[in-house]
Every structure is written in C-alpha cells, then in structure tokens.
A = this chain, B = another copy of it.
Amino acid sequence: MTEPLVAIVAGSKSDEELIDEASSTLSELGIPHEKRIISAHRTPNRAMEFASTAKARGLKAIIAIAGKAAHLAGVLASKTIIPVIGVPAKTSDLGGMDSLLSTVQMPSGIPVATVAIGKTGAKNAALLAAQILALSDESLSQRYESFRMGLSEKVEQDDREFSES
C-alpha cells in the first residue's frame, strides 16, 4: 500500500463532512493520504506525537480542521516543519469567525497556511496540498493543470447554457 503524503486531521468526529470533502479532493488527484481524529485539547499528547513524527513518516503536508477556539493547526505546526494547512470550521453562533481568527492570526515564528471557512476551505486545503506536492512531482503537476482546466471548462459551459437561456 502507498504511504500517505498528506494527513487530514480533525479535532472532532463532528467535522466529518469537511474531512470527506478534503479526502475526496485528494483522491481525485491521486494523492495518498490518511484521515485522523486528534484533539489539541482532549488528546494533547497524541497531537504532539503525531506532529513530531509526521516528517519522518514521510508526510509532506498536514490539513488541520477545527472550529471555535481552533488551536489544532497551531499546535501541530509548533511540532513540525512540514506545512500545516488550517481549515476553520463553521460555527453555529459566530459563523466561523472565531475559528478563522484562531487559525490565521498565528504569532510570529509559526505559520499556519489558512484557507476559507467550511466546506470550501476543506476542498481548497486539499488543492493547496496538491500544489505543494506538485512542486516536486511532475506527474501530479500535470494532473493538477488538467484539474484546473476542468474548472475553467465547467464555468465556460455554465456560461454558454446561461447566456443562451
């Protein structure tokens, strides 16, 4: 079996929809990955250990999904030097503004590559991971260019249908 290059880590099983969105996007691009539930607050030791061994295990990027005071991405980033991509989950009260600020406003020294709130962000996190991997994987780079072209073509087709209606 192929070793995973990307890990998708969520703070709670309730983020399953976001995990699936990221996972299916990575699969579509043929990127081997693993899915994990690790909480920065409820399983801090596991979070630390996971991050500190990630590079040695061959992971090239970590996608961290969390909501509210979303510390997961930052905590993982503090223990590894591979890029950590943060996906702020939508929250029922503040819409995800809390998750966003907790993820993106990282203090000096430890960056988190933050993407949009919610499902859009989950998909884009996978695409960002793909862009990073494609820097040293020509085959993936070509698959990614095709994927991009597909996006364009979809919009162009919508445009044709729409402007003719």
Contacts and interface: CB of A to CB of B under 8 A. Distances in A.
Nearest to A124: B111
Interface in A23-61: 34-46, 48, 60
Contacts of A163: 34-37
A152 B109 CA distance: 10
A75 B44 contact: yes
A163 B50 CA distance: 13
A11 B22 CA distance: 22
Work out how many copies of this chain go into the complex: 8
B110 A124 contact: yes
A111 B94 contact: no
Contacts of A65: none
Given A114-B113, A159-B37, A162-B35, A93 B90 contact: yes
B105 A155 contact: no
Contact of A13 (B141, B152, B158): B158
Contacts of A39: 107, 155
A114 B117 contact: no
Interface in A107-159: 107-118, 120, 123-125, 127-128, 131-132, 134-136, 141, 144-145, 148, 151-152, 154-156, 158-159
Interface string A70-83: 01001101110111
